[in-house]
């Protein structure tokens, strides 16, 4: 039985904590801090990313969403001004451990950016690109993986008759789904999406959102978005960041309908830019 002092807010808090703690997690971020040239961008963030779910990072511009996402596949490695403390574990293994090869990490943790970036080659070759890097594969097997990846990215029917055409002949929305297919072809465990629909029209945006929802049966997705409706539509869990801190992290429904903290409520109700 609930204690007498339990209010709807702290019931939700307890349930949110239990829900995330109980979820099977794929990535664990522990006391992660990151600074650019000594200026903090992330401050002691700790969170677990549940497996085969969609987790959204939301928050005002400059709060650190992209910095956090990029840290998850070590995109800061080449930036000498970046200093980092804390841990990021993928399936229990610290991703900065000496035995972890960055190329393999980035195969396991794929990333899709805001602006579609297909390579200047055919639709087919874009998807086959990572497979060729991985080594020899018979043409028939490669064809099968390309088809599977294009189907998984909900693009196959639109391109199956023109696989040899330039990827740049596709619309922006199709290009973004092609980039997702290219990433899926090497069978990642995690897909990081940094504002993947913000450069797209509303119909293409809906297709990307449908795709995100469908992909969680196969892999773990992490989405950075400015668009709170989008976070509410597609994600299972939402983390609200502000000024480099993780303010609140909860199942998406709980966070949007019953935020625990005033800072979260102010943001989701538009009282904080």
Ligand X SMILES: Nc1ncnc2c1ncn2[C@@H]1O[C@H](COP(=O)(O)OP(=O)(O)OP(=O)(O)O)[C@@H](O)[C@H]1O
Residue closer to ligand X by CB (options 46, 62) is: 62
Is the separation of the CB atoms in 87 and 32 below 8 Å? yes
Q: Which residues contact 127 (CB under 8 A, 6 or more apart)?
A: 145, 146, 149, 150, 178, 181, 182, 185
Smaller CB separation from ligand X, 166 or 227: 227
- Residue placing its CB nearer to ligand X in the complex, 57 or 124: 57
Calculate the alpha carbon distances from 266 to 170, 241, 255, 260, 263 in Å. 40, 13, 12, 11, 5
- 169 lines the binding site for ligand X (CB under 6 A): no
- How many chain residues interact with ligand X (CB under 6 A)? 11
Q: Report the residue number, 33 or 171, with the smaller CB distance to ligand X.
A: 33
41 lies in the binding site for ligand X (CB under 6 A):
yes
- How far is it, in rounded angstroms, from Cα 209 to Cα 248? 23
- Separation CA 203–CA 7 (nearest Å): 41
Q: What angle do CA 93, 94, 99 make, to 5 degrees?
A: 85
Q: Is 122 in the site for ligand X (CB under 6 A)?
A: no
When binding is defined by CB under 6 A, the residue of 36, 85, 162, 201 that contacts ligand X is 36
Instruction: Find the Cα–Cα–Cα–Cα dihedral 230, 168, 186, 141, rounded to 10°.
Output: 130
Asked if 73 is part of the footprint of ligand X (rule: CB under 6 A), the reply reads no
Among positions 26, 29, 58, 66, the unique one binding ligand X when judged by CB under 6 A: 66
Residue 220 interacting with ligand X (CB under 6 A): no
Q: Is 230 in the site for ligand X (CB under 6 A)?
A: no
177 counts as binding ligand X under rule CB under 6 A = no
Considering only the stretches 55-63, 91-99, 140-148, 153-161, report the one whose residues sit in contact with ligand X under the rule CB under 6 A: 55-63
Distance between CA atoms of 107 and 187, rounded to whole angstroms? 7
Q: Which of residues 124 and 240 has its CB atom nearest to ligand X in the complex?
A: 240
| Residue among 73, 23, 59 nearest 193 (CA) | 73
Which sign does the torsion angle of CA 17, 19, 24, 26 carry? negative
- Least distance between ligand X and beta carbon 63 (Å): 4
* Binding flag, residue 263, ligand X (CB under 6 A): no
User: Smallest distance from the beta carbon of 48 to ligand X, in angstroms?
Assistant: 20
Q: How far is the CB of 245 from ligand X (least distance, A)?
A: 12
The footprint of ligand X (CB under 6 A) covers: 36, 41, 59, 61-67, 226
């Amino acid at each position: 039985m609930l204690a007498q002092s339990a209010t709807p807010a702290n019931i939700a808090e307890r349930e949110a904590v239990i829900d995330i703690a109980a979820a099977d997690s794929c990535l664990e971020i522990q006391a992660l801090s990151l600074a650019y040239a000594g200026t903090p961008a992330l401050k002691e963030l700790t969170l677990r990313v549940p497996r085969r779910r969609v987790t959204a990072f939301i928050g005002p511009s400059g709060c650190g969403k992209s910095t956090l996402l990029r840290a998850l596949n070590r995109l800061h490695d080449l930036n000498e001004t970046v200093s980092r403390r804390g841990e990021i574990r993928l399936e229990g293994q610290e991703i900065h451990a000496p035995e972890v090869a960055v190329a393999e990490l980035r195969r396991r943790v794929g990333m899709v950016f805001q602006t579609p970036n297909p390579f200047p080659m055919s639709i087919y070759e874009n998807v086959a690109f990572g497979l060729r890097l991985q080594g020899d594969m018979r043409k028939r097997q490669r064809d099968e993986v390309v088809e599977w990846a294009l189907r998984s990215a909900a693009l196959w029917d639109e391109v199956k008759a023109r696989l040899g055409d330039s990827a740049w002949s596709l619309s922006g929305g199709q290009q973004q789904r092609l980039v997702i297919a290219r990433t899926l072809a090497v069978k990642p465990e995690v897909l990081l999406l940094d504002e993947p629909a913000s450069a797209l029209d509303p119909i293409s945006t809906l297709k990307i959102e449908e795709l995100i929802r469908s992909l969680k049966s196969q892999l773990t997705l992490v989405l950075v978005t400015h668009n709170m409706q989008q976070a509410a539509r597609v994600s299972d869990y939402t983390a609200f960041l502000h000024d480099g801190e993780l303010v609140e992290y909860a199942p998406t429904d709980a966070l949007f309908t019953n935020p625990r903290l005033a800072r979260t409520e102010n943001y989701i109700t538009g009282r904080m830019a």
